[in-house]
Chains A and B, each alone.
Chain A
Amino acid sequence: MNELSVQFDGVCKRYAHFALEDIHLELPTGSIMGFIGANGAGKSTTIRILMGLVHQDKGSVQVLGHPMPAEQAAAKFDIGFVSEDMRLYGAATLAWHMDFLKPIYPRWDAAYAEVLARRFDLKPEQRIKGLSHGQRVKAALLLALARRPRLLVLDEPTTGLDPVARVEVLGELMAALADEERTILFSSHNTLDVEQISDQITFIDRGRIIDSDDKETFLDRWRRLRLVLPPDVAVPHLPGVVEVGGSGRLPVLTTNCFEPAMVSVCNELGATVQAVDTMTLEEIFLANVHSRRERVTA
Chain B
Amino acid sequence: MNYSMVKSLVLKDWYFQRKAILLCLGGGIASLAIVAFGGKVGFYLGLVLLITILIVIAATVVMGTLVGERDNQTLAFVMSLPISFRDYTAAKMLVNLLIFIPFWLVLTAGSLGLVLAAPPIRGLFAFTVIMAVEILVSTCLMIAVALVTESKGWTTSAMIAGNLALDVVGYMVAHIPGIGNGMFGPVVHWRPAATVSLIVEFALIALMLGGAFFIQSRKREFI
Contact = CB atoms under 8 A, between A and B. Distances in A.
Interface of A: 48, 51, 53-55, 72-77, 79, 81, 83, 85-92, 96, 100, 103-105, 140
16 contacts: A54-B222, A55-B221, A73-B87, A76-B80, A76-B82, A76-B83, A85-B73, A86-B76, A86-B80, A87-B76, A88-B74, A89-B72, A100-B8, A104-B5, A104-B8, A104-B81
Contacts of B5: 73, 104
A45 to B, nearest CB: 10
Interface string B69-110: 000111011011111100100000000000000000000000
A104 B87 CA distance: 14
Interface string B36-80: 000000000000000000000000000000000000111011011
Interface of B: 2, 4-5, 8, 12, 15-16, 72-74, 76-77, 79-84, 87, 220-223
A105 B82 CA distance: 9
B77 A87 contact: yes
A52 B157 CA distance: 31
Contacts of A72: 84
B82 A73 contact: yes
A104 B220 contact: no
B43 to A, nearest CB: 38
Contact of B80 (A74, A81, A96): A81
A159 to B, nearest CB: 13
A76 B2 CA distance: 13
Top 7 A-B residue pairs of the complex, sorted by shortest distance between their CB atoms: A86-B76, A81-B80, A87-B73, A55-B220, A76-B82, A73-B84, A77-B82
A108 to B, nearest CB: 12
A86 B221 contact: no
Contacts of B223: 48, 53-54
